[in-house]
Amino acid sequence: MINTIYQFLEILGTVAFAVSGTVVGINHKLDIFGILTMSAVTAVGGGIIRDIFIGVIPPSSLQSPFYIIISIIASIITMLVAVITKKRRNSLSILKIRQFYDVILILSDAIGLGIFTVVGIDSGIAKGYETNSFLIIFLGVVTGVGGGMLRDIIANQVPMIFRENIYAVSCIIGGAIYVSLIPYLNHSVNMLLAIICIVLIRLISEQKKLNLPQIEY
């Protein structure tokens, strides 16, 4: 049962990040290959970085193409929806459609962020680092933000983690809550609680335009 829930969350996170990568690729007018690459990098990039840190070589997503295939399928479906939407829209609805895609980008990114932060922490625990809270939370943050960071770099923009909203901080808070409650809560309940916490912090910070202080001169 736990393995089923865990795999479902990994697939959901992969789809969510693949959609966000596809939307960014479309917004930057990449060709189909570029969009598919952007989708796959966003979906599995964080996991690859995490695996390198914990010594899983080749990284698990390259040993088995399952999650890359999932990301490609999700990307193709997203592109088809975008093409159908474009054919049906009129000049008055362009702004609304653009706003819709912005919402999809933010929501999918938040869901992927929450899920993969927890997945990254569990990967560290599975490797025997459960007593090193700093390390497993770090692995969770890297897994959560790594794919989005690579996505933004490919898109030639400063990664979200460095420029806007409470992004990586939401992973740190949710990861700390998850690790702290491991001895006290059922694993599945704890996972869902941490994911919801991260997603809510990310979405609220976006809605309220909350940012960490910046230095101006």
Q: Is residue 217 in a domain?
A: no
Per-residue pLDDT of the chain (217 residues; tens, 9 = 90+): 556 777 888 899 999 999 999 999 998 999 999 999 999 999 999 999 999 999 999 999 999 899 999 999 999 999 998 888 776 665 546 666 677 778 888 899 899 999 999 999 999 999 999 999 999 999 999 999 999 899 999 888 888 777 766 788 999 999 999 999 999 999 889 999 999 999 999 999 888 887 777 777 7
**DSSP string of 39-59, one letter each residue:** HHHHHHHHHHHHHHHHT-SS-
Helices 94-126, 32-54: inter-axial angle, 10-degree rounding: 20
Residue 115 lies in a domain: yes
CA neighbor of 15 nearest in space, from 112, 120, 126, 145? 112
Asked whether residue 18 is assigned to any structural domain, the reply reads yes
- The backbone torsions φ and ψ at residue 176, rounded to the nearest 5 degrees and listed phi first, read -65, -40
The verdict on residue 215 lying in a domain is no
Yes or no: say if 74 and 39 are a contact pair by the CB < 8 Å rule.
Answer: yes
Q: Residue 197 contacts by C-beta under 8 Å, 6 or more apart in sequence?
A: 114, 170, 173, 174, 177
Domains held by the chain: number: 1
H helices of 59-132, in order, are 60-63, 66-88, 94-126
151 by Cβ neighbours in 10 Å (0-12 / 13-18 / 19+) ranks as buried
The domain in which residue 53 lies consists of 2-207
- Residue 68 inside a domain? The answer is yes
- Asked whether 179 and 136 are in contact (CB, 8 A), the reply is yes
